[in-house]
Structure 1
Amino acid sequence: MSDQYLTAVLAEAEHVAKNYDQVAQSTESPTHEYLRYAVLRLLEGQSEAVAERFPQVDGVTVGYGRDKSMFDSWGSDVEWWETVSPREECTRFRLFYPDDRTTVPRVIIDVMTALGAWRVWDGDATACGSYDHHERREVHYLWPDGHPVEELLQERLQHADGTVAPDGGQTGDIRDRMVVAEQVTHQDALEPRTRRAVDEPMNVSLLAKGGRYEVASASGNRYDVDIIGKSCTCPDWQQRTPEGGCKHMRRVDYEIKQGRVPRPDGRLPTELDVRS
């Protein structure tokens, strides 16, 4: 494992945790979320925490999500899982790069190796997803929950200044709170169906840039919500397409507006975005 790249990944994840803790306020595994978002920022050139000499490759785009959730949504359309069957306990990274490169860019290999992920597929980019990847290539890596890198990040957060709590900076059970008080739209003002969607325990995370999110319900089911294309893989949407969206679409929309998950373009909202 490269110390240089491991240090860069941890430094960027620590930066995200301290400055953008909303990215993990809707998940029960904040260190996992900080680290995978740190990979996105590092490889897409968004990082503000690492030295300028960190190598960059123009045109790299990162998407990620739960491997089993991706399989449930796309398993009938693609053949990624022929070699390694879908794994509930793993994040699958999809990393896109220009097709004029004959091999996977070295910086991608080094960052993913430092993270502790393993390569499972590569090839021409497919049309599967929410945005266009013609004339590009992609490589996939699996990264398991509870990897020791998460423990290293937790130690950094605890030792930095003693103010970052294990749940991303807030206290109490993550299922019992919404967002920081000054950022919350008063729930009494919400439409009743949206208010019920907000009250119900769900975890929301970015699945792929372009507006695709993953929603994990309290029942253990996971659904793929395309907030731009206005669709959801849940039975309610597939069978009824209720006006205003199913509860999962409503929850994703609320989480985006409250700044708790990245925007559809993959970037974190600014304070002005949240207040507006």
Structure 2
Amino acid sequence: MSDRYLTAVLTEAEHVAKNYDQVAQSTESPTHEYLQYAVLRLLEGQSEAVAERFPQVDGVTVGYGRDKSMFDSWGSDVEWWETVSPREECTRFRLFYPDDRTMIPRVIIDVMAALGAWRVWDGNAAVCGSYDHCERREVHYLWPDDHPVEELLQERLQHADGAVAPDGGQTGDIRDRMVVAEQATQQDALEPRTRRAVDEPMNVSLLAKGGRYEVASASGNRYDVDIIGKSCTCPDWQQRTPEGGCKHMRRVDYEIKQGRVPRPDGRLPTELDVRS
């Protein structure tokens, strides 16, 4: 593995931590989230911290989510887990690229190797129901929690000006606490599902562009939310379809509006977007 790609991943992840810390404000593993989002930015050509000479491939799209959650949603419909069984402790990356390429783009291989992920599946995207990418191919990688690369990033962040706090925000940053305090007097007036959506501990992360998110609930269960298609894999939505959405759909909407997770198009809101 070339040090060049490891340096690129760490540099972009450090940039994410300093400038887009909202991607990790609802997780207990901020370095994991920073690195995931850094890979997305590098491979989709959004990097602002890495030199322009970093190789790019047009038409690459990156999605990621918990492997077990994906299995719970699609396990009976796709062949992804025939070789490697679902891993509770892993993130699964889905990387799409143009089908006119006979081989997986080298930059994908090098970046994922630098991250410490291993390839577990590749094939035609349409075969597995990825109709938005029907003329593309996709390759999957698994990346375990608590990988040593996270320690390398943490060391860099600790030595940087303005250390990153465990909750993913800047040390001393009380923006989230202010939001909660401002809304505290309104909690009693909220509809019960909305109140639970705001109050209960949940981790929200982008699963794929197009509005698909993963929500890890306080119960330990994980659900897929399609914020555009207005659906959730939780029992409440599947059995009752409550008006206004289940608590997981409402939490995703809340996190997007607070600027804590990427928007459905995969991009983070600007400070102006959050305030408006």
Shorter-chain TM-score range = over 0.9
Answer whether contact 2:205 2:261 (CA < 8 A) is retained: yes
Answer whether contact 2:118 2:141 (CA < 8 A) is retained: yes
**Pairs aligned (count):** 276
Answer whether contact 1:66 1:92 (CA < 8 A) is retained: yes
Per-residue CA deviation, residues 147-166 of structure 1 (Å, 9 max, x unaligned), is 00000000000001143223
Answer whether contact 2:41 2:47 (CA < 8 A) is retained: yes
1:109 is matched with 109
Answer whether contact 1:27 1:174 (CA < 8 A) is retained: no
TM-score when scaled to structure 1?
0.93
Answer whether contact 1:28 1:174 (CA < 8 A) is retained: no
Cα deviation for residue 184 of structure 1 reads 11
> Compared with structure 1, are the counterparts of its residues 62 and 251 closer, same or farther at alpha carbon in structure 2 (3 Å cutoff)?
same
2:7 is matched with 7
Cα deviation for residue 189 of structure 1 reads 7.0
> Compared with structure 1, are the counterparts of its residues 128 and 50 closer, same or farther at alpha carbon in structure 2 (3 Å cutoff)?
same
CA distance in structure 2 between the partners assigned to 1:149 and 1:235 by the alignment: 36
RMSD over equivalenced CA pairs, Å: 2.7
> Compared with structure 1, are the counterparts of its residues 161 and 171 closer, same or farther at alpha carbon in structure 2 (3 Å cutoff)?
closer
- Could you say what secondary structure the match of 2:179 adopts? coil
CA distance in structure 2 between the partners assigned to 1:271 and 1:124 by the alignment: 38
Cα deviation for residue 131 of structure 1 reads 6.2
> Compared with structure 1, are the counterparts of its residues 150 and 128 closer, same or farther at alpha carbon in structure 2 (3 Å cutoff)?
same
Per-residue CA deviation, residues 73-126 of structure 1 (Å, 9 max, x unaligned), is 111110100000000100000000000000000000000000000000000013
Answer whether contact 1:99 1:136 (CA < 8 A) is retained: yes
Per-residue CA deviation, residues 149-197 of structure 1 (Å, 9 max, x unaligned), is 0000000000011432232125699999586879999757754431221
Answer whether contact 2:162 2:170 (CA < 8 A) is retained: no
CA distance in structure 2 between the partners assigned to 1:250 and 1:93 by the alignment: 25
2:226 is matched with 226
Answer whether contact 1:167 1:174 (CA < 8 A) is retained: no
CA distance in structure 1 between the partners assigned to 2:73 and 2:198 by the alignment: 24
> Compared with structure 1, are the counterparts of its residues 61 and 195 closer, same or farther at alpha carbon in structure 2 (3 Å cutoff)?
same
Answer whether contact 2:66 2:90 (CA < 8 A) is retained: yes
CA distance in structure 2 between the partners assigned to 1:248 and 1:186 by the alignment: 20
- Could you say what secondary structure the match of 2:138 adopts? strand
CA distance in structure 2 between the partners assigned to 1:163 and 1:116 by the alignment: 25
Answer whether contact 2:125 2:131 (CA < 8 A) is retained: no
Answer whether contact 1:25 1:174 (CA < 8 A) is retained: no
Relative to structure 2, which stretch is displaced further, 28-37 or 186-195? Answer: 186-195
TM-score when scaled to structure 2?
0.93
Answer whether contact 1:183 1:275 (CA < 8 A) is retained: no
> Compared with structure 1, are the counterparts of its residues 171 and 194 closer, same or farther at alpha carbon in structure 2 (3 Å cutoff)?
farther
Per-residue CA deviation, residues 199-226 of structure 1 (Å, 9 max, x unaligned), is 0111110011100000001111000000
CA distance in structure 2 between the partners assigned to 1:182 and 1:175 by the alignment: 11
